[in-house]
A and B are shown apart, each in its own frame.
Chain A
Amino acid sequence: MGSLSFVVPFAELEVGQHLYWQLGNLRIHGQVFMTSWIVIGALLTLVVVGTKKMERDPRGVQNLLEFLWDYIRDLARTQIGEKVYRDWMPFIGTLFLFIFVSNWGGALVPWKLIHLPSGELGAPTADINTTVALALLVSLSYFYAGLSNKGLRYFEYYVHPTPIMLPFKIVEDFTKPLSLSFRLFGNILADELVVAVLVFLVPLVLPVPVMFLGLFTSAIQALIFATLAAYYIGEAVEEHH
């Protein structure tokens, strides 16, 4: 197996091992889907509980949901602009919530207590497949946003303000999903690895501040991903004069 593993009484560190599921002739990473379903389930539970009985004077979970809604609206509005932010708010919000809950779930839930035949449970965003999937969705979204808002005039963006920009803008279309996916993947995986290595080396006290740092990084990464996605969409729908 192409893997790196240490076996000690307290912690086990595995990198690059996956629990494979076979779907027809497709292979998927089972552990990623299992945690992503837990994340999605948690999100849906929160949303369903919070919107069950909504009132004009918010109470309980409705407050939290309204805070999230407001936060996402501000994010989408400042990046995308007043005109079309409503169309993209659900997408930006879903990205933010999914990544945020994935990251925090990966950092807070002691997944290692559940033993899998191969690989281990962790944040779905620590798998390159997930982050590339999200980043490609962002790419498709900003192309779709640009083309549906401005038609073929969208491509004016590539020669704006001068045609010299054309190669750079084309390269950008590749670097955007690349940087988005690798930033998220790298940060979350690195966080999990640092915590795991520290737990492996010094299983007392020392990993705790790093865990808090990990929570901070996780939240920041979710915010960065959502903000950049919104910024790219906003850039695509922006009118040049």
Chain B
Amino acid sequence: MSSLFLLGASEGGLFDFDATLPLMAVQVVILTFILNALFFKPVGKVVEERESFITTSRAEAKQKLAEAESLESDLREQLKQARQSAQKVIFEAEQDSDKLYREALALATAEANASREEARREIDSQREIAFNQLKLDAEKLGDLIVERLLDVK
């Protein structure tokens, strides 16, 4: 009897097939459906929701980062332009003041020249007048001297 234990004897044995087989199969199939409803579906839903949440958050964060970067570059551009315009304003102001200085200098020089010229002309004319007067006086004196000398004789 004991030699039969491996060979699926009518009673007992390692290879004793009976209704356990189909019933176990049915049991496992039912377990598959139960686990699908209780485990695979709900856990899958949670995990996939989290995965999509992470994906969208990442996408949002990337978008925000891109926005921030574009804003930063905008501001940089604006700053650059502001610097450039400030330099331009400074340059223009320097040029303006330089021009004004030159103009004022030229005007003052011209005025000075003009008044010097006028003064000289006045001096010249007065000298002329004085000279003429002097000449006249001299002629008169000469005449007078001549007359007197003639009278004396």
Residues of chain A lying within 8 A (CB to CB) of residue B44: 69, 73, 89
Q: Does any Cβ of B come within 8 Å of A44's Cβ?
A: yes
> A1 near B40 (CB under 8 angstroms)?
no
Is B131 part of the contact surface with A, judged by Cβ < 8 Å? Answer: no
> In the complex, are the beta carbons of B38 and A48 less than 8 A apart?
yes
Within 8 A of A (CB), among B14-31: 14-25, 27-29, 31
State the interface size on chain B (CB cutoff 8 A): 41
Residue from B20, B32, B49 with most neighbouring chain A CB atoms (10 Å): B20
Do residues B31 and A16 form an inter-chain contact, with CB atoms below 8 A?
no
Q: Does A66 contact B (CB under 8 A)?
A: yes
**Separation of A89 and B49 alpha carbons in the complex (Å):** 18
A47 and B15 within 8 A (CB): no
Residue B11 at the chain A interface, CB threshold 8 Å? yes
Contact check, B19 vs A133: say whether CB atoms are below 8 A apart.
no
Say yes or no: is A144 at the interface (Cβ < 8 Å to chain B): no
User: What residues of chain A lie closer than 8 Å to B49, measured between beta carbons?
Assistant: 56
Given A44-B34, A90-B40, also A36-B16 (CB < 8 A): no
Closest Cβ–Cβ distance, residue B29 to chain A (whole Å)? 7
The residues of A with any CB-CB pair to B shorter than 8 Å are 1-4, 15-18, 23, 26-29, 32-33, 36, 40, 43-44, 47-48, 50-51, 54-56, 58, 62, 65-66, 69-70, 72-73, 89-91, 93-95, 97-98, 124, 127-130, 132-134, 136-137, 189
